[in-house]
Amino acid sequence: MNKSGIKHLVFDLGGVIIRLDKSNAIKRFKEIGVDTIEQYLDDYEQKGIFGELESGKLTAEEYRDQVSEIAGKQLTMEQLEYAWTGYAVELFQRNFDALLQLRGMGYRVALLSNTNPFMMHWARSERFDGNGHGIDYYFDQLYLSYEMRLMKPDVAIFEAMLAGEHATADQVLFIDDSARNCAAAASVGIHTLNPANGSDWRPDVFGLIE
């Protein structure tokens, strides 16, 4: 297919497909009454019950009960989705177009994300891209931390993704804005690209596969 031997392109969601802004998420969580939110939120890997939600140790309902205790009032699923999606401050049509172009060229395109049911309820809905499509429209497969009960940068999540893709490590290019996640992927032989949050990764991706 190409000189590099890459056949599978695996993208991170936050920071790569979507530009993230943690400060906006913090603002929204405070709006709904979670005043101590800074101690839980991180750019790449959440802490406490927020991390347990993303690693699948807590269900959405269990998480809602516990975060409601922190807030001192009962929070709704809608409020929590509003707060979580505060992270997603910008979506780029260029990225969606590139994903479809890559699939049209014969590459298998997958998502590998540390995420949670609230973010994915939005991402998998027709509200996601502004054009009536959910995220599944753009990818062949979604590998989601809370469903897999694994989190990047645990090497096991990359091994599980390779098994799911029926791919060898040298056939995969992994694109993630976290240098730590890229290092973990590279440790098992996966090709990596580490773009900055919200940057245009297209020239580098197409340059590596051509």
pLDDT, tens digit (0-9, with 9 covering 90-100), for 112-165: 999 999 999 999 999 999 999 999 999 999 999 999 999 999 999 999 999 999
Binned at pLDDT 50, 70 and 90, residue 1 comes out as very low
Q: Are the C-beta atoms of residues 130 and 122 closer than 8 Å to each other? A: no
For the question of residue 12 being annotated catalytic, the response is: yes
Query: Which one from 12, 129, 176, 177 is the annotated catalytic residue?
Result: 12
Quick check: 37 pLDDT over 50?
A: yes
> What are 52-108's pLDDT values in tens digits?
999 999 999 999 999 999 999 999 999 999 999 999 999 999 999 999 999 999 999
Q: What is the pLDDT of residue 44?
A: 80
Q: What is the pLDDT of residue 205?
A: 98
pTM here is 0.96
State the pairing for strand pair 88-91/18-20: antiparallel
